[in-house]
Amino acid sequence: MYDFAYHKPTTIADAVKILSEDPDAKPISGGMTLLPALKHRLNQPTALVDLGGIAELRGVKREGDAVVIGAMTTHYAVATDPLVKQFIPALARMASTVGDTQVRNRGTMGGSLANNDPAADYPAAAIALGATFITSSRRIAADDFFLGMFTTALEPGELLVAISFPIPEKAGYAKLRNPASRYSMAGVFVAKGPAGVRVGVNGAGPCVFRQKEMEAALSANWSASALSGIRQSAEELNSDIHGSAEYRANLVEVMAKRALAGAG
Ligand SMILES: Cc1cc2nc3c(=O)[nH]c(=O)nc-3n(C[C@H](O)[C@H](O)[C@H](O)COP(=O)(O)OP(=O)(O)OC[C@H]3O[C@@H](n4cnc5c(N)ncnc54)[C@H](O)[C@@H]3O)c2cc1C
């Protein structure tokens, strides 16, 4: 580790002020990704702005036809929250499969989405449910939020405050976990909601994406048989020591059917 300043503001406005005055400062939520990055010197911010003291960034509430989840809400809190379990049970179940007990107790929904790891779970849910990202300065549709591997539409100094998930009629998620990290080798979130049928895929490519062929098929016929003829192209999918692009393409098809079965 090396020297850096540490701030623990208690309001969003104060956090944004510190971040805007120092372009090399970084927000930290649970530290599950950022702390290892600091230890390996992959990231060397001049200051850390700890979001842990900002109460308004935590918690779950219902707003009209949506469930709104604060960016600092932990995976454990998402998995066990009564509102999430009642209105978007697939999201609660997904949160319960993130990493291990320690990661779920420290890691946050906002940290995961701001990080946009290609193998993270939440991006697929956000895309499929047609979520809206509420930041310290604007609202961003999920389709416009994920720009590429570890890259989002967040500007420097802009904080993710909450994520608004429209309540779906049906939703399900399935992933094949990497046995070591539990990150997704390929995961598929299917949802039928106010924005129609949407299918989000994580783990398979360099960034979460919508599987539009599956969306069209499921819009016409919400059943696993509708997916039978659809082949996921391996082009542009990830190949690494854990699995080839062809293997991941096959996983997408299998996980989509499992997600659908779980969605009812
Ligand atoms: C062993 C292990 C296993 C894991 N397994 C999984 C898994 O199976 N599935 C999965 O999805 N994830 C997994 N994760 C990731 C985990 O879900 C964390 O949520 C993720 O690492 C982000 O960590 P964090 O929430 O603590 O954010 P941090 O590490 O504190 O921050 C991550 C990044 O987001 C930025 N940031 C944080 N909060 C905000 C905000 N409110 N606004 C703007 N920027 C912000 C930070 O500056 C930093 O760049 C795993 C992590 C570990 C260590």
Q: How far is the CA of 42 from the centre of ligand 1 (A)?
A: 15
| 115 Cβ closer than 6 Å to some ligand 1 atom | yes
Q: What is the mean pLDDT for each group of 10 consecutive residues in the chain (264 residues)?
A: 91 97 96 94 94 97 98 98 98 97 97 97 98 98 98 97 98 95 94 96 98 98 93 96 96 97 90
Tokens linked to 239:
């190949």
**Residues sharing a CB contact under 8 Å with residue 114, sequence separation 6 or more, in sequence order:** 27, 71, 152, 154, 160
Residue 120 alpha carbon, nearest atom of ligand 1: 11
Q: What is the pLDDT of residue 227?
A: 95
| 74 Cβ closer than 6 Å to some ligand 1 atom | no
Of the candidates 117, 105, 134, the residue with the CA atom closest to the CA atom of residue 207: 117
Q: How far is the CA of 228 from the centre of ligand 1 (A)?
A: 35
Q: What is the pLDDT of residue 1?
A: 64
| 27 Cβ closer than 6 Å to some ligand 1 atom | yes
Q: What is the pLDDT of residue 181?
A: 84
Q: What is the pLDDT of residues 222-237, one digit of tens each?
A: 998 999 989 999 999 9
Q: What is the pLDDT of residue 47?
A: 97
CB 168 within 8 A of CB 193: yes
Residue 76 and residue 96: Cα distance in Å, rounded? 7
| 70 Cβ closer than 6 Å to some ligand 1 atom | no
Model pTM above 0.85: yes
DSSP 8-state class, residue 1: -
Q: How far is the CA of 57 from the centre of ligand 1 (A)?
A: 15
Q: How far is the CA of 112 from the centre of ligand 1 (A)?
A: 4
| 219 Cβ closer than 6 Å to some ligand 1 atom | no
Judged by DSSP in three states, 134 sits in strand
CB 189 within 8 A of CB 221: no
Q: What is the pLDDT of residue 180?
A: 86
Tokens linked to 41:
């010197």
Q: What is the pLDDT of residue 179?
A: 87
| 182 Cβ closer than 6 Å to some ligand 1 atom | yes
Q: How far is the CA of 95 from the centre of ligand 1 (A)?
A: 13
Q: How far is the CA of 213 from the centre of ligand 1 (A)?
A: 30
Q: Which backbone phi and psi does 201 adopt, to 5 degrees?
A: -120, 130
